[in-house]
């Protein structure tokens, strides 16, 4: 295994199913110790990409190196060097914590001499010291999820795939989970996260937005926010909301407008309405404005923007 090269390299990675191109010439480079997020709508090609990188699907074209191994030529070697965990990860509910660990240790062929130390590590990491003999189904969500993580890294994989790892988990437990992930990354493990929940994406160092099999955007969360919205995001408190929305949707300079709770979120591009002009414009149309302020766009705003641009404004589902 290459000691200094990137953890994952994809060059022109393509997967076709008959006439349908699920992944279309994807180029990607992920460094060691990086937490990289794959985000995209359902059917965008996210899971096909991950499956190719895990050596479960053979690329139709192009190639990818994972931990230095070619996913098309040496899928077995790739699989030995990765760990995989999802929120719906199948721990066995009717086995105890320790029995689950022993089972996955066997699956991953962890050396007998190392098993004790790895099990202890996983149990400590998950905070399950006093519950080693508890049946897994009796554990709360946060514990289960950390145990699943422990199982996925028993064999010290240099690369770890996480599939929607924290959806629905308690906020406190989720934060603790991401702390663990950041610690693993600090120790040199490369983490690939696949999700369509933007709050999970926020924890990634870099995000690859995939849509219709193509890489649409790549960058840190901050870069995506500042580069890809096409303008600045404003929050407007006004009444009535519906009328305001209607007026703004056709106005010059408005890239996007939508109701958000009891406010409006409006993206203003260059050459049209600006922050100063907004209240007056709305009042002219019979809308009374209470406040206008800039807000930091969420990754979800960026995502929706990028995907709808990419689809020419069509419904993306």
24: nearest Cα among 38, 10, 34: 10
Report the residue from 35, 66, 151, 248 that binds other proteins according to the rule CB under 8 A.
35
Report the residue from 167, 226, 275, 309 that binds other proteins according to the rule CB under 8 A.
167
- 111 binds other proteins, rule: CB under 8 A: no
Q: How far apart are CB 211 and other proteins at their closest, in Å? A: 10
Cα distance between residue 78 and residue 68, in whole Å: 8
Q: How far apart are CB 295 and other proteins at their closest, in Å? A: 7
Q: How far apart are CB 183 and other proteins at their closest, in Å? A: 9
Distances, alpha carbon 121 to alpha carbons 4, 19, 188, in Å: 27, 47, 17
Report the residue from 11, 179, 270, 280 that binds other proteins according to the rule CB under 8 A.
179
Q: How far apart are CB 281 and other proteins at their closest, in Å? A: 21
Cα distance between residue 91 and residue 104, in whole Å: 9
- 41 binds other proteins, rule: CB under 8 A: yes
Strand residue runs (E) in the chain: 8-17, 20-30, 35-39, 61-66, 69-70, 82-86, 159-163, 190-195, 206-211, 214-219, 232-239, 254-260, 263-268, 288-294
- 170 binds other proteins, rule: CB under 8 A: yes
Per CB under 8 A, contacts with other proteins among 118-147 are: 139-143
Q: Check if the beta carbon of residue 231 is closer than 8 Å to that of residue 283.
A: no
Stretch that binds other proteins, among 96-104, 110-118, 175-183, 282-290 (CB under 8 A): 175-183
Distances, alpha carbon 63 to alpha carbons 3, 31, 222, 279, in Å: 20, 17, 30, 54
Using the minimum distance from each CB to other proteins, give the nearer residue, 81 or 163: 163
- 99 binds other proteins, rule: CB under 8 A: no
- 205 binds other proteins, rule: CB under 8 A: yes
Using the minimum distance from each CB to other proteins, give the nearer residue, 136 or 198: 198
Residue 229: strand, helix, or coil: coil
Report the residue from 115, 134, 218, 241 that binds other proteins according to the rule CB under 8 A.
241
Burial of 227 (0-12, 13-18, 19+ CB in 10 A): exposed
Cα distance between residue 163 and residue 191, in whole Å: 11
Cα distance between residue 157 and residue 135, in whole Å: 26
Report the residue from 108, 203, 234, 281 that binds other proteins according to the rule CB under 8 A.
203
Report the residue from 85, 110, 151, 201 that binds other proteins according to the rule CB under 8 A.
201
- 173 binds other proteins, rule: CB under 8 A: yes
Positions in the binding site for other proteins (CB under 8 A): 35, 37, 40-43, 139-143, 167-173, 175, 178-179, 182, 186, 196-199, 201-207, 220-222, 240-242, 258-262, 295-296, 298, 300, 303-304, 307-308, 315-317
């Amino acid at each position: 295994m290459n000691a200094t090269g990137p953890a994952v390299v994809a060059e022109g990675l393509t997967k076709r199913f008959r006439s349908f191109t699920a992944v279309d010439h994807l180029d990607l480079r992920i460094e060691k110790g990086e937490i990289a997020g794959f985000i995209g709508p359902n059917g965008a090609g996210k899971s096909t990409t991950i499956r190719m990188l895990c050596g479960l699907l053979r690329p139709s074209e192009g190639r990818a190196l994972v931990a230095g191994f070619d996913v098309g030529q040496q899928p077995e070697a790739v699989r030995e060097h990765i760990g995989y965990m999802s929120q719906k990860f199948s721990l066995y509910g009717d086995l105890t914590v320790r029995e689950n660990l022993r089972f996955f240790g066997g699956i991953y062929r962890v050396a007998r001499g190392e098993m004790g130390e790895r099990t202890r590590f996983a149990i400590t990491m998950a905070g399950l010291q006093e519950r080693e003999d508890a049946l897994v189904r009796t554990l709360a969500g946060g514990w289960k999820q950390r145990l699943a993580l422990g199982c996925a890294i028993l064999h010290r994989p240099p690369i770890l795939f996480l599939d929607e790892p924290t959806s629905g988990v308690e906020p406190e437990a989720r934060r603790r989970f991401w702390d663990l992930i950041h610690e693993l990354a600090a120790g040199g493990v490369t983490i690939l996260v696949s999700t369509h929940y933007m709050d999970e994406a926020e924890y990634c160092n870099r995000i690859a937005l995939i849509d219709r099999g193509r890489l649409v955007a790549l960058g840190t969360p901050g870069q995506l926010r500042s580069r890809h919205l096409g303008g600045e995001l404003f929050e407007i408190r006004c009444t009535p909301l519906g009328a305001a929305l209607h007026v703004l949707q056709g106005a010059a300079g408005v890239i996007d407008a939508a109701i958000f709770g009891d406010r409006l979120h409006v993206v203003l591009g260059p050459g049209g309405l600006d922050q100063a002009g907004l209240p007056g414009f709305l009042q002219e149309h019979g809308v009374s404005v209470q406040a206008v302020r800039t807000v930091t766009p969420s990754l979800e705003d960026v995502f929706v923007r990028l995907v709808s641009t990419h689809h020419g404004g069509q419904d993306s589902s």
